[in-house]
Structure formats: C-alpha cells, structure tokens
A and B are shown apart, each in its own frame.
Chain A
C-alpha cells in the first residue's frame, strides 16, 4: 500500500527566505507526482506535475525534483513571500489507484 509522508508538518520563515519541502513515498512504482497548494477553506490548486520519467519541473519561483528510485521529492520555493503561506500537499499516482496524498506542510511566511 502506497504511503506518502511530508516533512516538516509546519514551517514558519521570514519573507525572502528560500525553503525546501520534503515528500517521500513507499512504493517507487509511481506514474507521476503532483504538488498542490491549499489555502484555508479552499480546494486544491495544482502547482507542478512531475512524470515518472522526469527529474524536475519548474514554474516561476517553484522547482520540484523527483528521485523515484529513492522515493523522494522536494519542492523548492525561492524568495518566499507572504502570499506563499498555505498548506502544500504532494500526491502520487500508482497503478490503477487514484492519487495518494501526504498530510501536507503548513507554511507561514512572515512579512
């Protein structure tokens, strides 16, 4: 059974810092890994999708890497801003199963 773990559970940083969020998964036979952002009381917004054949994806200040063999992904946020404050979720797709989510990292960027 696929399990996804995210570390840290919560993170508070001052504005401008670069930061890394971690995601690990137990079954490396994934099709893809997706990072989402969730604002309080809202749905999920897709940030980046990394297919199993890819090593990384970039979008603006966000960079996600994938090491499938070791079951790990990182989300790098450069020059953090207060507007980045949210919960960040990673999810993997394995076989016929729908996405399996981690429990998220709650990020607070202090102005």
Chain B
C-alpha cells in the first residue's frame, strides 16, 4: 500500500486478556518502529527492527510485551494479560533504513482501551 497500515484502528479488551496489534509497513522499508502514546503524553519508544539485525527491545515496559517481524514485512505487537495502564494509542512507523537521514512514516495507530 501507499502508507503504513495498522489494524485494528480501535480495540477494547478486558483486563487480563491478550491482544495482538498489526502493522504493515511501506513496501521496501527495512526499519520498523513501535511507539506508545498515552492520553496527553508524548511518544514512548517500545521496539524497533532493522533488517535482519537483532531488534532493539530496550523500550518494552515489561515482559508482557513482545513483538515480531517477518523479514521486512508485517509486524505484530502482542500484549499479554493486559492491564488498564496499557490503554494508549500504539503507533507504528517504518523507514527505508533507520539512522541514515531517511524519513520515518507513521501509521494512524491502534487505540487500545483496557476495561
């Protein structure tokens, strides 16, 4: 597609359930990033993938959070045993190669509400 696509756009889940969020990057983009944005807050880095290198997971807030990426395509962010504090907008971005002066493009985000 023309841009970064995220699904679902909205997700309401019960506390304790697992959720999967999906990101389809722009075709050919080797770098993919996940961020979290709580209501009224800035963007919080979660994880990023760059080609075949080991992902930088340093931003994941707990072991309930994990992410996978298949090659240079789709990524899924999984949150296990969701808590109310996980409620946020989860944003995905991709770029051709991270850190070389190339623009990052963001999807519209997935709004997660844990009730």
Q: In the bound complex, what is the Cα–Cα distance between A93 and B111 (angstroms)? A: 25
Could you say which interface size class chain B belongs to?
20 to 34
Do residues A46 and B56 form an inter-chain contact, with CB atoms below 8 A? Answer: no
Do residues B42 and A46 form an inter-chain contact, with CB atoms below 8 A? Answer: no
Do residues B42 and A97 form an inter-chain contact, with CB atoms below 8 A? Answer: no
B60 at the A interface (CB under 8 A): no
Do residues B43 and A98 form an inter-chain contact, with CB atoms below 8 A? Answer: no
Looking at A20-28, A78-86, A99-107, the stretch in contact with chain B turns out to be: A99-107
Chain A nearest Cβ from B12, distance in angstroms: 16
Q: In the complex, which residues 49-107 of chain B have their Cβ closer than 8 Å to any Cβ of chain A?
A: 50, 56, 91, 93, 98-107
Do residues A43 and B99 form an inter-chain contact, with CB atoms below 8 A? Answer: no
Chain B residue numbers with a CB within 8 Å of A31 are: 99-101
Chain A residue numbers with a CB within 8 Å of B42 are: 89, 101-104
Chain A residue numbers with a CB within 8 Å of B50 are: 96
Do residues B101 and A49 form an inter-chain contact, with CB atoms below 8 A? Answer: yes
Other-chain residue from B33, B100, B105, B111 in contact with A98 (beta carbon distance below 8 A): B33
Q: In the bound complex, what is the Cα–Cα distance between A52 and B108 (angstroms)? A: 27
Could you say which interface size class chain A belongs to?
20 to 34
Do residues A43 and B107 form an inter-chain contact, with CB atoms below 8 A? Answer: yes
Other-chain residue from A42, A98, A103 in contact with B48 (beta carbon distance below 8 A): A98
Do residues A96 and B56 form an inter-chain contact, with CB atoms below 8 A? Answer: yes
Chain A residue numbers with a CB within 8 Å of B105 are: 46
Q: In the bound complex, what is the Cα–Cα distance between A10 and B3 (angstroms)? A: 30
Other-chain residue from A49, A91, A96, A101 in contact with B99 (beta carbon distance below 8 A): A96
Other-chain residue from A89, A96, A99, A104 in contact with B33 (beta carbon distance below 8 A): A99
Other-chain residue from A52, A94, A97 in contact with B101 (beta carbon distance below 8 A): A52
Known A43-B91, A93-B99: A99·B108 in contact at CB below 8 Å: no
Do residues B101 and A89 form an inter-chain contact, with CB atoms below 8 A? Answer: no
Nearest first, the 8 closest Cβ-Cβ pairs linking A and B are A51-B101, A103-B42, A98-B48, A44-B106, A43-B108, A101-B43, A98-B33, A31-B99
B interface residues (Cβ-Cβ under 8 A, vs A): 31, 33, 35, 41-43, 45, 48, 50, 56, 91, 93, 98-109, 111
